[in-house]
Amino acid sequence: MCDCGITKPLAVSIVKFKKTYLRNLSEIYMVSDTSKLSLLGAGSTNYEYSSPTADLLEVFDNPRPEVPFVIGLDCLEFTSLCPMTGQPDYGSIYIDYVGDKLCVESKSLKLYLVSYRNHGAFHEDCVNSIADDIVAKINPLYLRVFGDFNVRGGIAIKPLTIRRNSPMASELRDEIAELFASFDRLSARGPRG
């Protein structure tokens, strides 16, 4: 018996119940097809530090493709190397998008962004490469990638790029603009771009 008064057999029963109950709940309420995902929930993680490639990104079906909504993803510990000096550059990458049929899985995005760790590229190139790779994987209706890099040499570099899925009906374009205005206003991060 532990200090809380629960005996070992009771604790074992509680754990078994929770595992069974949670498994049943996940089967009942599973709304997304996760069969394409190999990284999320994997027993181990392989970190690649030198070669960013879109192949690292995994996707899943948009659970609500009929309703435009903004997905905001913040990487507050982005690192790459200066291509001229080899010195590390640090910053934050903010990715906001309105998906179409697919969404980016967050663990694979983390591993993709970590792959820039030993990659030499200017900040502007990093931000545009990230946008290009995400567009290649999910073809979102709208994508905004903003890099907020730490000061080096007295200058903070803050590249922003936007990609739009063309053609886009004016009603949808207006709705997406309104979504982003609301997202920026309500987000703790504040407006970007």
69-112 confidence digits (pLDDT tens) = 999 999 999 999 999 999 999 999 999 999 999 999 999 999 99
pLDDT (0 to 100) of residue 114: 95
77 appears as a binding residue in the annotation = no
119 appears as a binding residue in the annotation = no
Q: Going by C-beta distance under 8 Å and a sequence separation of 6 or more, which residues neighbour residue 11?
A: 2
Residues 97 and 73: their CA atoms lie apart, in Å, by 9
| 73-95 as b/e: b if 16+ CB within 10 A | bbbeebbbbeeeeeeebebbbbb
131 to 4, 60, 94, 176: CA distances (angstroms): 52, 18, 11, 18
β-sheet bridge partners, residue 75 = 93
pTM (two decimals) = 0.73
Residues labelled catalytic = 82, 89
Please report the domains of the chain, with CATH numbers, ordered by start residue. 54-186 (3.30.1130.10)
Nearest to 148 by CA among 159, 162, 137, 140: 159
Q: What is the pLDDT of residues 99-158, one digit of tens each?
A: 999 999 999 999 999 999 999 999 999 999 999 999 999 999 999 999 999 998 899 999
123 appears as a binding residue in the annotation = yes
